[in-house]
Structure 1
Amino acid sequence: MNAHQPLSRRRILGLAALGAAALTGQTTISAAPRAAAATAADGSGSTFVPAVVVGTGYGAAVSALRLGEAGVSTLMLEMGQLWNQPGPDGNIFCGMLKPDKRSSWFKTRTEAPLGSFLWLDLANRDIDPYAGVLDRVNFDQMSVYVGRGVGGGSLVNGGMAVTPRRSYFQEVLPQVDADEMYGTYFPRANSGLRVNNIDKDWFEQTEWYQFARVARQQAESAGLKTTFVPNVYDWDYMRGEADGTVPKSALAAEVIYGNNHGKVSLDKSYLAAALGTGKVTIETLHQVKTIRQQNDGTYLLTVEQKDPDGKLLATKEISCRHLFLGAGSLGSTELLLRARETGTLPALSSAIGGGWGPNGNIMTARANHVWNPTGSKQSSIPALGIDDWDNPDNPVFAEIAPMPAGLETWVSLYLAITKNPQRGTFVYDAAKDRADLRWTREQNAPAVAAAKSLFDRINKANTTIYRYDLFGKQIKAFADDFCYHPLGGCVLGEATDNYGRVSGYKNLYVTDGSLIPGSIGVNPFVTITALAERNVERVIKEDIAGS
């Protein structure tokens, strides 16, 4: 499917609503002037709306679109801001090489995953605390990168839209009908996300992917195979960047702090279509703090509204009949843990908080020979992966990642996704009023071993070595203390039924990556999207239609 397919009428209306909100500085986004007014007081002083979706990431966006299409007035609550307003430099997002306060969620210094070069901290900057687009949530022995803003993680990821190996999907989620997923819901997700494929002839000749071709040749020397990976970045737009006919984004080292052009994040796909139904409203800079069930079975949310500098503007109460949690593995799990442990939803399952994993994420890098330059010009969007998932001892899918430093580094960088069976657990810390992750570095030992097995083979075949200077002050080849792909916490079929209905409560649903038990073998957002499509279709049919 080409990313230049004609815009649907709903997407056009939704994009117009997003643009209008940006022009006026509004935190309420709606394509229908009366959409927000459709809510009504329920007699308790709170505002009532039939359905609330917490978050605006993949599962949340799917849920809102399908609810809107079903005619259900739906309110989305997003703790981040709408990224649609240019800053002083004329760009919405800042770049990776010169980050400013737009980069980070209330930090005083940026926390880039590649924290050093020759052990010097060249990537990070001191910044003012601000509602920036990327957050690094730090636990004791693991940190998790998450997106903040309308579109969630779609704003800050590399856009690699990978459908998982069917056999592994069935292993991870055996209770889900794989024929339905691969015949209906994965194709629906790829269409809704506007996934497209790179032109292979262009890939082979462009200077912007020399780094990937070098890594491919070295993998092949070790007997490994590579595969092209679809993406939500518009490859045709990228070719225009290379030709100099459009402003650069992927070719201007933009990715982890957002892309100014070219990337079809959720605000340009599912969320735009959801707004275009006229039934969906998004409230930005609204963070849900607590959930409790009222006597009539509806849910009452306490919500804090803040400005981009973190100042509390208002505390609101919003009630709803149907509540969809799409705040991500960390956010949805924390909300339910808090509700269970503080007694506002006491019947929640003891399974809440379990089954967490980092999708086997391990980052590593290799030093190439001087005669194998990776290129001073590198696209920030990955296009290839090393596929060794059929390895019976150490299955690995490794993204060939860019390192767009603007100069020659002779570095090949990778994000390895491994099959690590270890799982962590979230517990509620009452003193800090937050979910705390019980996970140790030792639990990542199987993932490090699998990655090392793969890249030892590549180093041996090419007489190369690891880089030990890229992950902070420590001398280490494998970054095993952070992840990009948090999964689990509200596992499907354990904390919920097989369609994301939360055990113990009616009309309460989880619709994000917390449903997936810790691992899916590839970048997970296509799976999260497809699973949400499956689940919300059943929920609307059985729980909402005609109610």
Structure 2
Amino acid sequence: MSTARTEGNIAAMPSSLSRRRFLGYSALGSAAALGLTTIGVPSASAAARRDSARAVVIGTGYGAAVTALRLGEAGIQTVMLEMGRLWETHAGDNVFSGMLKPDKRSMWLKERTQMPLASFLWIDINRKIERYTGVLDRVDHGDMSVYVGRGVGGGSLVNGAMAVTPRRSYFEEILPQVDAAEMYRTYFPMANAALGVNDIDPDWFETCSSYQYARVSRKHAAKAGLDTTFVPSVYDFDYMKREEAGEVPRSALGGEVIYGNNHGKRSLDKTYLAAALGTGNVTIRSLHEVKAIRRAEDGGYVLTVDRLDDTGGVTATTELATRYLFLGAGSLGSTELLLRARDTGTLPDLGAEVGQGWGTNGNVMLGRANHVWDLTGALQSGMPALGIDAWDDPVHPVFAEIAPMPAGVELWASLYLAITKNPERGHFTYDHATDSARLRWRAEQGQGSIDSAKALFDRVNRANRTIYRSDLFGDTRKFENRFTYHPLGGLVLGEATDNYGRVRGYPNLYVTDGSLIPGSTGVNPFVTITALAERNMDRILAEDL
């Protein structure tokens, strides 16, 4: 197992390391060291070389990882298909490239980086890179672009680790058909425990250099009469303490955020996926992209799968048959697969609800210029730990992450990713000419999110006599809502599926990811996706398998 991978994972693992998780984690390390695209313990890997499996899970993100673990625990031979790679040590370097000096590992099949923060003082800060199957993808759909993670672990590889349970009242509003008492009593605690969620030491927060930027924003918010709240994380805060003390390699404090994290972060390959592999019943095939689904004569499903090389080229096309099929490819991926199946006639009985109910989680990014005496610090943790909580505002509810700008120098700037309550929804259509799903979202649909973010931060600016930055997003705009990190919807629970993710009209076909959630959670959504998958799998395993 590689040194870089071992060191980071040991730091990130929960203290109660189970034998199952150790076995699965060893399988991941061995596969990475050998450059394998089939990952599993020996018995599972041998079984997975067949062209059929009892269960197939498409994707390796949050919902997919939950699904695979619970199937594996139930003794069901399961194959996971992941279009991204298993991330391994790169030429004696760390697994992932840093944000300040990105290389080909940073972006999925791009020749230039595409950061959400596109400029500083109107100077383009993106960089030319080699085309490669990198870890972060930006999928462009006209007025909206969507960031997604590519690799074994999906979005867990590239997010800011903010593990937030939504307010119960809002959860009940967006998913009224789900028993909220059961979710908050059983499934949210289960998800948080399995993900390795932890809380920052509040005493350390007050004195460390890593969160000076957050303390400045907290002071500015308080002056405007606004509350802030600590945010739980799947980044190991004890490891972060040691980073600042100079005892371990820096990761969160080394400018590692959107292009992957080398140490300290409890991404899914260290938690759910490791445990799933350790059951001995789950195998992951990386660099395998599912292109089509059709119904088999026996009532099962047959997948058309492209095998990819390091530059995204197709080296082979194969078929894989399964009895039970679980879609966990995310809001974009799962929705596209079912739209293609419906509109090309391979699954013609799929309903009009497929492709509907998509939203951005109300994402808006903005920056503020601080006074010269309000230093945000040259050392900034890439993992946010504080948010401005104005969700109770009756007109403009907002939860705003206090985000870092880890440039290694003082910038006198504060950055935020605001999550707003925006009822606008987009939808997908299938484009036969490009064989792809196209998102239908108009720029004006995001104006309500901008209005809410502006109402909140106008208060902050007035109270502190500060102004917005207009140099951060490639032009002169002060609010950036042309992208989202939190795509949700497309296969909404209770509409495209039943109330447990079963696709209507097609037995043994399931959805298990963020496409089930109708466009909004009010917070970072991955804990909700994980908990909902746990709840759904409980019922599916009991009744279907």
TM-score (norm 1): 0.97
In structure 2, how many angstroms separate the alpha carbons of the residues matched to 1:82 and 1:23?
10
Specify which of 50, 67, 71 is matched with residue 67 of structure 1: 71
**Residue 153 to residue 537, structure 1, CA distance change in 2 (3 Å):** same
Q: How does 1:342-361 map to 2 (within 5 A)?
A: 342-361=344-363
Secondary structure of the corresponding residue to residue 428 of structure 1: strand
The 3-state SS of whatever aligns with 1:49 is strand
What's the counterpart of residue 499 of structure 1? 500
Cα gap change, 1:183 to 1:3, in 2 (>3 Å): farther
Whether the 8 Å contact between 2:429 and 2:439 is mirrored in structure 1 is yes
Q: Measured at CA, do residues 540 and 263 of structure 1 come closer, stay the same or move farther in structure 2, by a change above 3 Å?
A: same
Q: What displacement does 1:37 show?
A: 3.1
Alignment-derived partner of residue 108 in structure 2: 105
Look up the SS of the partner of 1:102 in the other structure.
coil
Distance 2:196 2:14 in 1: 9
CA positional deviation for 1:36: 3.3
Residues of 1 paired with 2:67 and 2:25: CA distance?
A: 18
2:58 touches 2:82 (CA, 8 Å); kept in 1? Answer: yes
Equivalent residue number for residue 476 of structure 1:
477
Structure 1 counterpart of 2:301, which letter? Y
Correspondence 1:290-309 to 2 at 5 A: 290-309=292-311
What runs of 5+ residues in structure 2 fail to find an aligned partner?
1-11
Match of 1:50 in 2: 54
Residues 450-496 of structure 1 show CA distances to partners (whole Å, capped at 9, x for unaligned) of 00000000000000000000001x21110010010000000000000
Q: Alpha-carbon deviation of 1:4?
A: 3.8
Q: Which residue of 2 aligns with 1:465?
A: 467
Does structure 2 conserve the Cα–Cα contact (< 8 Å) formed by 1:373 and 1:408?
A: yes
User: Would you identify which runs of 4 or more consecutive aligned residues in structure 1 move more than 3 Å?
Assistant: none
Following superposition, the deviation at residue 34 of structure 1 comes to 2.2
Residue 89 (structure 1) shift: 5.1
**Counterpart for residue 509 of structure 2:** 508
* CA–CA separation in structure 1 for the residues paired with 2:40 and 2:230: 38
Q: Which residue is equivalent to 2:236?
A: 234
> How far 1:190 moved relative to its partner?
0.2
Q: Does 1:80 pair with 2:84?
A: yes
Partner of 2:436: 434
CA displacement, residues 70-111 of structure 1 (integer Å, 9 cap, x when unaligned): 00000000000001x211251110000010100000001000
**For residue 503 of structure 2, what is the amino acid of its counterpart?**
V
| Correspondence list, 1:196-207, <5 A | 196-207=198-209
- What letter is aligned with 1:73? Q
Counterpart residue type for residue 10 of structure 1: R
Could you tell me which residue of structure 2 aligns to residue 44 of structure 1?
Answer: none
Q: State the alpha-carbon separation in 2 of the partners of residues 219 and 70 from structure 1.
A: 49
Q: How far apart are the structure 1 equivalents of 2:486 and 2:49?
A: 38
User: How far did 1:3 drift?
Assistant: 6.1
Q: Residue 530 of structure 1 corresponds to which residue in structure 2?
A: 531
* Among 253, 256, 259, the residue aligned to 1:254: 256
Identify unmatched segments of 5+ residues in structure 1: 42-46
Name 2:489's counterpart in structure 1.
Answer: 488
- 1:38 to 2:39 alignment: no
Matched, 1:176 2:178: yes
Question: Partner amino acid for 1:91?
Answer: N
Task: State the match for 1:148 in structure 2.
Answer: 150
CA contact (8 A) 2:13 2:270 kept: no
Equivalent residue letter for 1:113: P
The code of the aligned residue for 1:138 comes to D
**Could you tell me how far 1:349 is from its partner in structure 2?**
1.2
| Cα offset, 1:321, TM superposition | 0.3
Q: Deviations over 1:190-235 (max 9, x none)?
A: 0110000011101100011100000000000000000000000000
SS in 2 for 1:509: strand
Contact kept? 1:40, 1:49, Cα under 8 Å: no
| Alpha-carbon offset, residue 313 of structure 1 | 1.6
Structure 1 residue identity aligned to 2:351: S
Letter in 2 for 1:37: A
d(CA) in 2 for partners of 1:201, 1:37: 51
Counterpart of 1:19 in structure 2 is 29
* Mapped partners of 1:308, 1:325: distance in 2: 24
AA partner of residue 133 (structure 1)? V
1:539 corresponds to: 540
Decide whether the 8 Å contact of 2:122 with 2:471 is kept in 1.
Answer: yes
Which residue, 443, 452, 455 being the options, matches 2:454? 452
Aligned to 1:131: 133
Alpha-carbon separation, structure 1, partners of 2:313 and 2:484: 29
Distance 1:64 1:513 in 2: 16
Deviation at 1:120, TM superposition (A): 0.4
Per-residue CA deviations over 1:262-302 (Å, capped at 9, x if unaligned) read 00100000000000000000000000000000111010000
Q: Percent identity?
A: 68
1:26-66 C-alpha deviation (Å, 9 max, x unpaired) = 110002x121333586xxxxx11000000000000000000
- Are residues 4 and 35 of structure 1, via their aligned partners in 2, closer, same or farther at CA, if it must alter by over 3 Å? closer
What SS does the corresponding residue of 2:358 show, helix, strand or coil? coil
d(CA) in 2 for partners of 1:262 and 1:299? 39
Which whole-Å deviations, capped at 9, do the CAs of 1:115-140 have from their partners, x for residues lacking one?
Answer: 00011012x11111100000000011
Secondary structure of 2:193's partner?
A: helix
Q: Partner residue of 1:268?
A: 270
Whole-Å separation in 2 of the counterparts to 1:4 and 1:484:
26
What secondary structure does 1:488 align onto?
Answer: strand
1:29 paired with 2:30, answer: no
The verdict on how the C-alpha distance between 1:39 and 1:310 changes in structure 2, with shifts beyond 3 A counting, is closer
1:318 maps to a residue whose letter is L
Correspondence for 2:391 among 389, 405, 408? 389
Shift of 1:23: 1.4
Paired position in structure 1 for 2:195 = 193
Distance 1:230 1:463 in 2: 31
Distance apart, 1:6 and its partner CA:
1.5
- Provide the rounded CA distance (Å) in 1 between the counterparts of 2:58 and 2:433: 24
Task: Provide Cα deviations, 1:323-349, integer angstroms capped at 9, x if missing partner.
Answer: 000000000000000000000000011
Partner letter of residue 34 of structure 1?
S
Equivalent position amino acid for 1:28 in 2:
T
- Tell me, in whole angstroms, the C-alpha distance in 2 between the residues paired with 1:284 and 1:204: 42
| 2:122 matches 1:119 | yes
Q: Contact 1:3–1:195 at 8 Å: present in 2 too?
A: no
1:48 and 1:39 map into 2 onto residues whose CA distance is 8
1:307 CA displacement? 1.2
2:406 maps to which of 404, 421, 424:
404
C-alpha distance in 2 between matches for 1:11 and 1:379: 28
